Amino acid sequence: MAIRTEVGASRAIEPSRRDEPARRAVTALGLLGIALIHLLDLPGKLKETPYLGAAYIVLIVASVAVAEYLMRRHDRRAWLAATALAAAVLLGYVVNRSVGLPGAMDDIGNWLEPLGLASMFVEAVVVVLGLSGLVDSMARGSADV
């Protein structure tokens, strides 16, 4: 696909660059989804396992901050932050459901909890989109990490 400029020359637009705003918006919405899912689970977590409740609060704040950063910045640091945050949460979920965390052994094997499934789905989407954005930004050489 070519776009004509004012002087009449044409230049090709790379699909990844053209799709960049949509990818950033969907990734930011995914980060906000991660924040919402953990906000919904927060009251129970604060009662059951206070240190995980505190971690949820940090995650919620970080998710909102990274979503905002991603929407304002066109660099690989934003993609790296989004990808790393979602991957860390996904890894934490897998550890919690497989071998358990201190004081939180009740969730071992509880893979089908609805909020947990929603969380894994959204986190995986953010990781995939984040990696895609990171690779594209590195290929364009947008910003140093």
> What residue spans define the domains of the chain?
18-140
Give the rounded percent of residues in the chain with a pLDDT score beyond 70. 84
For the chain, first and last CA: distance in Å?
32
What is the pTM for the complete model shown? 0.81
The pLDDT of residue 34: 98
Which ranges of 49-75 does DSSP label H, i.e. alpha helix?
Answer: 50-72
Residue 8 amino acid letter: G
Q: How far apart are CA 52 and CA 2, in angstroms?
A: 51
For the record, the structure tokens of 46 come out as 């604060």
Give residue-wise pLDDT tens across range 27-59.
999 999 999 999 999 999 999 999 999 999 999
Give residue-wise pLDDT tens across range 65-122.
999 999 998 788 999 999 999 999 999 999 999 998 898 888 898 889 999 999 999 9
Q: How far apart are CA 120 and CA 107, in angstroms?
A: 15
The pLDDT of residue 14: 53
